[in-house]
Amino acid sequence: MPDASLTLISHPLCPFVQRAAIVLLEKNVPFERINVDLSAKPDWFLALSPTGKVPVLKVGQANGEDAILFESMVICEYLEETQGGASMYPDDALLRARQRAWIEFATPTLAEAWQFLNATDAAIAEGKRAAFRDRLQKLEAELGSGPYFAGADFGMVDAVYAPLFRYFAIIDPAVSQAIFEGLPRVAAWRAALAARHSVRDAVVNDYADRFREHLRQHQAILAT
């Protein structure tokens, strides 16, 4: 049974929720997951989330009350500091700082990818595809021999980028192939992340169908 002391307030498609879910799964921490409809946010959720966004983590306290955490990386860092399992950062302070810098790089990279995926105009789609590809090239230059961002061990950077790469296993393979062509390290990293149990289990079983339906509802070019 899930441990009621940790409750992840979620949405089935949110990539930021997936970051927290991946860390929880990597740490082998039991938790309850509650999905909310972000198009009709319930009052109880708005009372918990100052931003009106997911994820939110409820942390049960000894006095019976819940502490509320919001923002995905705040939640991930809290889990890293309080839960067992393998560390998701290196011991060296400089290496940790560099990895946190690449985590910061992930959010605008995700924004470029999301705007490309949801584009309804061909010119905008091409501009966002090029911007996303440029960011992938920077990652290609940083990656080593893999299979993960920093080598053999799965870490926080991997948990952050895995939800982004997941989209490109769902859309037209020809589109994905063109984006990742000539980026062998990124392509290998993407494949390794897709095979990781925590990454697979961070989403609902019908995630791909839900995402395709999202694209259709938004009349994205990639839905046709």
Indicate the burial class of 61 (C-beta count within 10 angstroms; 0-12, 13-18, 19 or more): exposed
Active site residue 14: yes
Contact criterion met (CB below 8 Å) for 143 and 189: yes
| Whole-angstrom distance, CA of residue 224 vs CA of residue 220 | 7
15: how many CB neighbours lie within 10 A of its CB? 23
Q: What are phi and psi of 70, to 5 degrees?
A: -135, 165
Q: What angle do CA 106, 191, 128 make, to 5 degrees?
A: 40
**Buried-state track 206-221, b at ≥16 Cβ within 10 A, e below 16:** ebeeebbeebeeeebb
Catalytic residue from among 8, 14, 56, 157:
14
Any idea what DSSP says for residue 64?
S
| Whole-angstrom distance, CA of residue 142 vs CA of residue 138 | 7
| Whole-angstrom distance, CA of residue 129 vs CA of residue 196 | 26
Tokens of 4: 């009621």
* Active-site amino acid positions: 14
